[in-house]
Amino acid sequence: MSGSTRPGFRPGPPLLPGATLGVLGGGQLGRMFAHSAQRMGYFTAVLDPDGSSPAGRVSHHHVHAAYDDIDGLARLAGLADAITTEFENVPAPSLDHLAAARPVSPAGSSVAIAQDRIREKAHFVRCGVECAPYAVIENADQLAAVPEHLLPGILKTARLGYDGKGQQRVRTTAELAAGWHATGGVACVLEKLLPLDFECSVIVARGHDGDMVSLPVQRNLHRDGILAVTEVHRDNLPAELAARATAATRSIAEGLDYVGVLCVEFFVLADGSMVVNEMAPRPHNSGHWSMDASDVSQFELQVRTLAGLPLTVPRQHSPALMLNLLGDLWFIDGDTAVEPPWADVLALDGTHLHLYGKTEARRGRKMGHLNITGPTIEAVRATADFTAALLGLPIPLSE
The pLDDT assigned to 1 comes to 32
pLDDT tens per residue, range 311-363: 999 999 999 999 999 999 999 988 999 999 999 999 999 999 999 999 899 99
pLDDT per residue as tens digits for the range 18-39: 999 999 999 999 999 999 999 9
Q: pLDDT digits over 206-262, tens only?
A: 999 999 999 999 999 999 889 999 999 999 999 999 999 999 999 999 999 999 999
Give the pTM.
0.94
Q: Which amino acid is at 295?
A: D
- CATH annotation of 20-114: 3.40.50.20
- Topology given in CATH for the domain delimited by 196-391: D-amino Acid Aminotransferase; Chain A, domain 1 (3.30.470)
Give the domain ranges of the chain: 20-114, 133-192, 196-391
b (16+ CB within 10 A) / e for 222-253: eeeeebbbbbbbeebbeeebbebbbebbbbbb
Distance (Å, rounded) from C-alpha 359 to C-alpha 116? 31
Distance CA 273, CA 371 (A): 30
Nearest CA-CA partner of 252 in 216, 292, 202, 319: 202
Q: Exposed, middle or buried, 193 (CB in 10 Å: 0-12/13-18/19+)?
A: middle
Strand partners, 19: 17
| Contact predicate 234/222, CB 8 Å | no
Asked if residue 188 lies in contact with residue 159, where contact means CB atoms within 8 angstroms, the answer is no
Report the CATH superfamily, name and number, of domain 133-192. ATP-grasp fold, A domain (3.30.1490.20)
Q: Which pLDDT score is estimated for 238? A: 95
Question: Cα–Cα distance between 86 and 302 in angstroms, integer?
Answer: 10
Q: Judging by beta carbons within 10 Å of its beta carbon (0-12, 13-18, 19+), is residue 349 exposed, middle or buried?
A: exposed
